[in-house]
Amino acid sequence: MITGSIVALATPMKANGDIDWEVLRKLVNFHLDNGTDAIVAAGTTGEPTTMSFAEHFDVIRSVVEEVNGRIPVIAGTGSNNTTEAIELTRYAREVGADYCLTVAPYYNKPTQEGLFQHFKAIAEASDLPVILYNVPGRTCSDIYNETVLRLAEVDNIIGLKDATGNLERAEDLISRLKGSDFMLYSGDDATACDFMLMGGHGDISVTANVAPKAMHELCAAAMAGDHEKAHQINTRLLPLHTNLGIEANPIPVKWALYRMGVIDTGIRLPLTWLSEKYHSTISEALQLAGLIEE
């Protein structure tokens, strides 16, 4: 099973919005060189909702090919259409992804039973291990803890990315699933350190896009129970954790990568480039993390 720092990889794009395949390969190697423990391809941060099916497939395939088995690849295969999520998951399995990350259906607002049946159908349609993704702030669809516990009993559903930022809720799940093989990952960088110190297994991280080495070290320290080291690293990264959400993800992190000289200015509507009034805020966070000079 995957543990540690798992980057929710931003998809680099040229100024005209075309996917920059060469830079995508370079980004993958940047993470391989800096200790990232696994990569999510075409997750929320990767802008899959603005991609064609062909582009979505190609991003997953390109990341799998570039990684070449060196670390696990988690394919983003979520959709509010169960049939579409199944198709994406089957494709990810065909091209060699190790896991899939599938989000709670957005816009439809399903019941808890609907959520259970949706994820169960995905898990039964492919042998690719499924990680659930709960991010109510984006989906208006919340997988309650009781539903997670039901889903943990379904063959092939192996974990949860919890992006609620609710540590009481996370503590409840961690305690009730203790001793099982079910994996619990934070999806909220600002609370991920405490999530892992309570017994979580890693962080599916936006911050790791710009600070992969530090995030790897933070996750390793937290999961080893080294409170002092984990909090020391986390304090340095906290301005990034906080401010990479200053506008909708991935707007700030793409600007940060651009500021670091890593990617071009491409982003797709309806998202827009980071508002100028926030440029200094993100620059200061990068400086505090030691990622750029003043």
- Catalytic choice (91, 99, 120, 161): 161
Q: Determine, yes or no, domain membership for 117.
A: yes
**204 labeled binding residue:** yes
User: What is the tally of structural domains in the chain?
Assistant: 1
- Catalytic choice (91, 99, 133, 185): 133
State the average pLDDT over residues 9-15: 98
Q: pTM higher than 0.95 for the full model?
A: yes
Q: Is the pLDDT of residue 124 over 80?
A: yes
- Return the pLDDT at 225: 97
Q: If DSSP states are collapsed to H, E and C, what string results for 86-119?
A: HHHHHHHHHHCCCEEEEECCCCCCCCHHHHHHHH
Q: Determine, yes or no, domain membership for 126.
A: yes
What are the residues whose beta carbons fall under 8 Å from the beta carbon of 41, sequence distance 6 or more? 9, 59, 60, 62, 63, 64, 73, 74, 75, 76, 97
**pLDDT level of residue 9 (50, 70, 90 thresholds):** very high
State the average pLDDT over residues 254-267: 98
**281 labeled binding residue:** no
Q: Is the pLDDT of residue 177 over 80?
A: yes
Q: Determine, yes or no, domain membership for 219.
A: yes
Domain that holds residue 260: 4-288
Q: Closest Cα to residue 212, out of 24, 29, 17?
A: 29
Q: Is the pLDDT of residue 294 over 80?
A: no
CATH for 165: 3.20.20.70
Q: Determine, yes or no, domain membership for 293.
A: no
Q: Determine, yes or no, domain membership for 16.
A: yes
pLDDT digits (tens, 9 = 90+) for 71-100: 999 999 999 999 999 999 999 999 999 999
Please indicate whether residue 161 is annotated as part of the active site. yes
pLDDT digits (tens, 9 = 90+) for 43-57: 999 999 999 999 999
Report the mean per-residue pLDDT for the chain.
97
Q: Determine, yes or no, domain membership for 32.
A: yes
DSSP 183: E
pLDDT digits (tens, 9 = 90+) for 142-169: 999 999 999 999 999 999 999 999 999 9
Q: Closest Cα to residue 82, out of 128, 129, 53, 120?
A: 120
Q: Determine, yes or no, domain membership for 294.
A: no
Please indicate whether residue 26 is annotated as part of the active site. no
